[in-house]
């Protein structure tokens, strides 16, 4: 399900350098899709606290989060959205999801990888987007890394390969998922080695969870 919001969100200007994603921790200034705390909504569904902040994020969690994502473009989109979420709410990122998808050529890595400073300057002026040049450049960097990774199997193989040895393992309990662990730290290190930007253990954990690579047991929803 594609989350759509009826109103056009106000522009977001987020100047300044990005946080050091390789040093994420409890005080890291970023919003992630990992599960730190949960809450039971009036509908009886337990969700992470980040998914209980409006209709859009609730719909995203209920209908998309944790559903298997195995295509290159969809995984690149997840990675880019997570990169843009630093210092913002996930609702703010989802409100600009369609505009970001359009701006980044539908997350076609071949096209996005060819963006240069002219495109960065153009996108920084686009009021529909999160106008942070550092995050835009990181999206382009990640597209280039995604393209270059194909010779080694591709982004889907890298992400899903992080849990390949755990096939058949029981689904994780929503209330007992660490924001990062040895697995996500290893994936983050491998991705940085492959040239990806804005990726640390917490973001890697968020990517594994959001893409369904790490299955999670839900309550109140199939």
pLDDT at 36: 64
pLDDT band (50, 70, 90) for residue 221: low
Q: Which of 30-44, 128-142, 158-172, 198-212 has the lowest mean pLDDT?
A: 30-44
Q: Does domain 34-217 have CATH number 3.40.50.620?
A: no
Secondary structure letter of residue 214 according to DSSP: S
Who has greater pLDDT, 95 or 166? Answer: 95
Comparing CA positions, the residue from 87, 171, 179 lying closest to residue 135 is 87
For the record, the structure tokens of 44 come out as: 């009886």
Who has greater pLDDT, 53 or 160? Answer: 160
C-alpha–C-alpha distance, residues 182 and 171, integer Å? 18
pLDDT at 119: 98
Looking from the CA of 3 toward its CB, the CA atoms found within 13 Å total 22
C-alpha–C-alpha distance, residues 179 and 62, integer Å? 20
Tell me which residue has tokens 């994502």. Answer: 69
Who has greater pLDDT, 219 or 168? Answer: 219
pLDDT at 201: 96
C-alpha–C-alpha distance, residues 19 and 29, integer Å? 7
pLDDT at 29: 36
In the chain, domain spans: 34-217
Q: Is pLDDT at 153 greater than 80 in this prediction?
A: yes
Inter-helix orientation angle 72-84/201-210, to 10°: 130
> Number of helices (H) and strands (E), helices first, in the chain?
10, 6
Does an H or E element contain 67, and which? Answer: none
For the record, the structure tokens of 220 come out as: 């109140």
What is the torsion angle, in degrees rounded to the nearest 10, for the CA atoms of residue 178, residue 180, residue 182 and residue 185? Answer: 170
pLDDT tens digits along 30-68 = 456 666 688 898 888 999 988 988 899 999 999 999 999
pLDDT tens digits along 1-34 = 333 333 345 555 443 333 333 334 333 334 566 6
Tell me which residue has tokens 């309550």. Answer: 219
Q: Is pLDDT at 163 greater than 80 in this prediction?
A: yes
Does an H or E element contain 168, and which? Answer: none
Which percentage of the chain shows pLDDT scores above 70?
Answer: 81
């Amino acid at each position: 399900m594609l989350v759509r919001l009826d109103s056009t969100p106000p522009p977001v200007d987020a100047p300044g350098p990005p946080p050091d994603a390789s040093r994420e921790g409890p005080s890291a200034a970023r919003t992630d899709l990992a599960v730190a705390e949960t809450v039971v909504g009036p509908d009886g569904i337990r969700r992470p606290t980040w998914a209980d902040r409006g209709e859009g994020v609730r719909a995203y969690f209920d209908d998309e989060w944790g559903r298997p994502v195995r295509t290159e473009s969809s995984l690149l989109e997840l990675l880019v959205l997570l990169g843009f979420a630093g210092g913002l709410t996930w609702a703010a990122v989802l409100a600009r999801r369609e505009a970001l998808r359009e701006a980044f050529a539908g997350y076609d890595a071949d096209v996005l990888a060819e963006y240069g400073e002219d495109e960065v300057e153009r996108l920084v002026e686009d009021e529909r987007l999160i106008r942070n040049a550092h995050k835009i450049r990181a999206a382009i960097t990640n597209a280039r890394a995604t393209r270059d990774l194909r010779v080694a199997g591709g982004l889907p193989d890298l992400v899903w390969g992080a849990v390949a040895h755990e096939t058949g393992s029981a689904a994780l309990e929503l209330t007992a998922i660490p924001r990062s662990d040895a697995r996500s730290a290893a994936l983050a290190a491998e991705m940085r080695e492959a040239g990806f930007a804005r990726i640390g253990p917490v973001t890697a954990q968020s990517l594994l969870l959001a893409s369904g690579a790490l299955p999670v047991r839900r309550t109140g929803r199939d």
